[in-house]
Amino acid sequence: MGIIAVIIGGSGATGKELIDQLLERPEVERVTVLLRRPYFKSHKKLNEVIVDFNMLAQYSEHIEGDIAFSTLGTTIRDAGSQEAQWKVDHDYPLTFAEIAKQNGVNTFVLLSSMQADPNAKLFYPRMKGTLEQAIYKLNFPSYMILRPGIIDRPNTDRAGEKAAVGIINFLNKIGLFRRFRAIQTKDLAKALITASIDFPKTGEQLYESKEILNGIKR
């Protein structure tokens, strides 16, 4: 049997790239994506499940397989408040991870963020760090955390992100901050697959921006 993957965050820029690339992999047998509304074109390997993320336990039968990926995340502008963003970026992925662990999923892959730290003063890195730590306590046989720097999302409507990508690209051209260069979503999706399928490892594996940009290796 081939690899069975289950994903939340599939309609985001990185999530979409991840699903497209997984569907192209011959060793992947099925990809289940949990979504709020229909999004993807029909594919023989794809199982699209429409869910209420406030009631994920009701969809437990779909949260199973070999690898679980969480690329779910939002902005405070879209969420409307820190409380609402915490629910999307922390509570939903944690519940997803808890169900995956209960259902015997071996590998959990979390798309986190640069400088994630449960003790950070700033809200966003503290939220991401708290999530990393909570999932770690679930004791997956294999747990992979990827902390990319600035993500270059095609056609993004996030003004701050556009500006950051522009600034970092300019600085890179003049030889500055190369370790913080932006990463395109297609390359980030490839890194998620490389870490979990091409070069899997047991225990907790943490990949920072530099390792992701340079290509995750055995």
Chain segment 169-202, per-residue pLDDT in tens: 444 444 444 555 668 899 999 999 999 999 999 9
**pLDDT value for 22:** 98
* Residue 11 to residue 24: CA distance in whole angstroms: 17
Chain segment 132-151, per-residue pLDDT in tens: 999 999 999 999 999 998 88
Q: What does the DSSP 8-state code read for residue 48?
A: E
pLDDT reading at 165 higher than 60: no
**pLDDT value for 183:** 83
Q: Look at residue 47 and give its three-state secondary structure.
A: strand
**pLDDT value for 217:** 75
Contact of 108 with 144, CB cutoff 8 Å? yes
- The first and second tokens of residue 181, run together, are 């260069």
Kindly state the percentage of the chain with pLDDT values over 70: 86
Q: What does the DSSP 8-state code read for residue 2?
A: -
Q: Which segments of 9-104 are extended strands (E)?
A: 28-35, 46-50, 67-70
Instruction: Select from 16, 23, 69 the least CA-distant residue to 46.
Output: 23
The model's confidence at residue 156, banded by pLDDT at 50, 70 and 90, is: low
**pLDDT value for 170:** 43
- The first and second tokens of residue 54, run together, are 């406030």
- Which residues are catalytic, by number? 124, 128
**pLDDT value for 214:** 84
* Residue 131 to residue 123: CA distance in whole angstroms: 12
- The first and second tokens of residue 167, run together, are 């600034």
* Residue 37 to residue 82: CA distance in whole angstroms: 24
**pLDDT value for 169:** 46
Predicted model pTM: 0.89
